[in-house]
Chains A and B, each alone.
Chain A
Amino acid sequence: DIQMTQSPSVLSASVGDRVTLNCKASQNINKYLNWYQQKLGEAPKLLIYNTNNLQTGIPSRFSGSGSGTDYTLTISSLQPEDVATYFCFQHNSWPTFGAGTKLELK
């Protein structure tokens, strides 16, 4: 099975900061990588699918990139409502999630 490793596990940043979250797969996942945002007490929400496709209704400050084993979610200007845990998810083989990055305000 493919292991997904997210870093950092916790990230503290200030409003307006450019924020980068990382996700590394244990083998090439061919850009079959999605990102989900989960706010406290809520169900996850789809942000990005297949590395860099922004889901409808998601603000353009969110973007994704990567290839092979290394992928990134970037928030260009952090907003208070972005406080959440972010999970990466691969579907190159049977699906697996990363353990998540908890994003906090500094």
Chain B
Amino acid sequence: QVTLKESGPGILQPSQTLSLTCSFSGFSLSTSGICVSWIRQPSGKGLEWLATICWEDSKGYNPSLKNRLTISKDTSNNQAFLKITSVDTADTAIYYCARTYYYSEWYYFDYWGQGVMVTVSS
């Protein structure tokens, strides 16, 4: 049974660094074709892909945010992480992590966490 759960600070101030953790079970980030992605959704709005990290440690970032994002993983502890620097109110959103299958022409988010709300406010 695959499960993922996001955790984060809840609220932080503009210019701070947002640190998010995705703790998962039921799969391994050392398995070929398996990745973890971060996606966010401002309240009442659409979805935005942020970053993906894969089994062989390759990484992809949304070009519009690339300079602010860092994705990493701890394979032995079944966790993935995302840092976003210099946050502002536009970063207020629900942040999801999702197991990602990425192999050859296949790329899809097949299991999602419940999401964690992050509010940026002074």
Of residues 52 through 106 on chain A, the ones whose CB sits less than 8 Å from some CB of chain B are 55, 87, 89, 91, 94-100
Taking beta carbons and an 8 Å cutoff, which residues of B are in contact with A?
A: 46-49, 60, 62-64, 96, 105-110, 112-115
Question: Chain A interface secondary structure, helix, strand, loop or mixed?
Answer: loop
CB contact under 8 A between A44 and B47, given known A32-B105, A94-B62, A94-B63 = yes
Are B107's CB and A32's CB within 8 A? yes
Are B112's CB and A99's CB within 8 A? no
Find the A residue at minimum CB distance from B60: A94
> What residues of chain B lie closer than 8 Å to A97, measured between beta carbons?
46-49
Shortest CB-to-CB span from A37 to chain B, Å, is 11
> What residues of chain A lie closer than 8 Å to B112, measured between beta carbons?
43-45
CA distance A97 to B110 in the complex (A): 15
Contact of A44 among B62, B105, B109 (CB under 8 A): B109
Contact of A43 among B62, B64, B114 (CB under 8 A): B114
Find the A residue at minimum CB distance from B66: A94
Shortest CB-to-CB span from A57 to chain B, Å, is 10
Find the B residue at minimum CB distance from A30: B105
> What residues of chain B lie closer than 8 Å to A44, measured between beta carbons?
47, 96, 109, 112
Are B46's CB and A95's CB within 8 A? no
Are A43's CB and B113's CB within 8 A? yes
CB contact under 8 A between A46 and B109, given known A1-B63, A99-B46 = yes
Given A32-B107, A34-B107, 19 more A-B residue pairs with CB atoms under 8 Å apart are A1-B63, A32-B105, A34-B108, A36-B109, A44-B47, A44-B96, A44-B112, A46-B109, A46-B110, A49-B108, A50-B106, A50-B108, A87-B47, A91-B107, A94-B49, A94-B60, A94-B63, A97-B46, A100-B46
